[in-house]
Structure 1
Amino acid sequence: MQDGGERAKFTAMAKGTQEDWSIIGGQFMGYARGLADRVLAHLKLLDGDFGGFPIDRLQHSLQTATRAHRDGRGEDYVVMALLHDIGDTLGSYNHPDIAAAILRPFVSEELHWIAQQHGAFQGYYFFHYLGLDRDAREAFRGHRYFDACAEFCEKYDQAAFDPAYQSESLQFFEPMVRRIFARPINSIYAKIEAA
């Protein structure tokens, strides 16, 4: 949380002035610069959350990112892999949407799509055991990123539940997260960042 500092004086946005928005815009940048810290802190909430899986959700995230990193993927891909399940705590019924929303300003359209759709694609490996349609991903067949999402799930996500796998630590990935979250590329607020 910010310390409060100077505040705008309007009671409705329609009554805001240039002075009000200069105050808000000025404070936005300081707050935005703390985004990587907040994302990393939230990722730590997955520590110890097993949900019946062989490893906890943080270790799954680290393992997914480590596999992508060791396979030579770029930093933006690795960060997407690290954060793909960050929504598990707040979006139990739509966790891919949460991860995709967090990542959207900082990654390519393709990586955003992979994060947003990975739940349906990951379901190929287990939905049939839960009475769901394992071929739910087929609704996306023909999409230009279909193969990329299928590859992400096959190579990195579904394979990342091995208790014996030696993942990199969260500290290893922290500089990558900081670099990716320091440069919004897909945001209506990116102009403020550039100013």
Structure 2
Amino acid sequence: MTLETHDRAQFTAMENGTQEDWMKIASHFGPFAANGGKRVLDHLKLLDGDYGGFPVDRLQHSLQTATRAHRDGRDDDYVVMALIHDIGDTLGAYNHPDIAAAIIKPFVSEELHWITAQHGIFQGYYFFHYLGMDRDLRENFRGHPHFQACAEFCEKYDQSAFDPAYDSAPLSFFEPMVMKLFERPKQSLYARALDDAA
């Protein structure tokens, strides 16, 4: 969709922006931000069919991780974190946890953000030694308040979510949870300011 010129800011450098320019930008922010959940769901679909050598594709792994968490009684925020923990796989081969953590940060507790950001190192406990790496790298975080929560996420839901026979819920089952979580940030002052201005 192309916006008419009068619906867009007129500056060519931010330092020349005006109140009117920024009100125009803010008026577009709200509707765009409100569709964040849909964009997350669309990006998750990119994991479909991408096996990377694993027994299940990356989407099925994500669905299985989230389904296991849901069936274990975890709250919706936790389940959505479990669903998108590997969403960065298609963009960041070397730092996928950072991508997922950045996406989810404004919407979840500090603990869930930390689990997302560190799950790659904690998951390494189960396979790093097969690749000539130190499986105990997670011990560098021993004593952190969220150490046990991250270890538990990997043990109960992440490392065990590669079963081709597991009856995972479909992505549509998680859609309401995703849409609700990404409706309004809990932590971003920048997002709140733009949302309020709109």
Question: How many residue pairs end up in the alignment?
Answer: 194
1:55-74 aligned within 5 A:
55-74=56-75
Query: 1:107-126, aligned counterparts within 5 Å?
Result: 107-126=108-127
What TM-score does the superposition give when structure 2 sets the normalisation length? 0.95
CA-CA distance at 1:122 after TM superposition = 0.1
Mapped contact 2:125–2:136 kept (Cα < 8 A): yes
TM-score (norm 1): 0.97
Q: 1:120-170: per-residue Cα shift (whole Å, max 9, x none)?
A: 000000000011110010111110000000000000000100111000000
Query: Which residue is 2:192 aligned to?
Result: 190
Determine the structure 2 residue equivalent to 1:92.
93
Runs of 4+ in 1 over 4 A off after TM superposition: none
Shift of 1:108: 0.5
How far is the alpha carbon of 1:14 from its aligned partner? 1.1
* 2:3 corresponding residue in structure 1: 4
Distance 2:196 2:180 in 1: 15
1:156 aligns with 2:157: yes
- CA offset digits 1:63-116 (Å, max 9, x no partner): 000000000000000000000000000011000000000000100000000000
Q: CA deviation at 1:180?
A: 0.2
Q: Deviations over 1:38-69 (max 9, x none)?
A: 11111000000001100000000000000000
Query: Which structure has more RCO (C-alpha within 8 Å, separation ≥ 6)?
Result: 2
* Alignment RMSD (CA, Å): 1.0
AA in 2 matched with 1:30:
P
Which structure 1 residue ranges, 5 or more long, are not aligned?
none
**Aligned equivalents of 1:22 and 1:28: distance in 2?**
10
Q: Which amino acid aligns with 1:130?
A: L
Alpha-carbon deviation of 1:186? Answer: 1.1
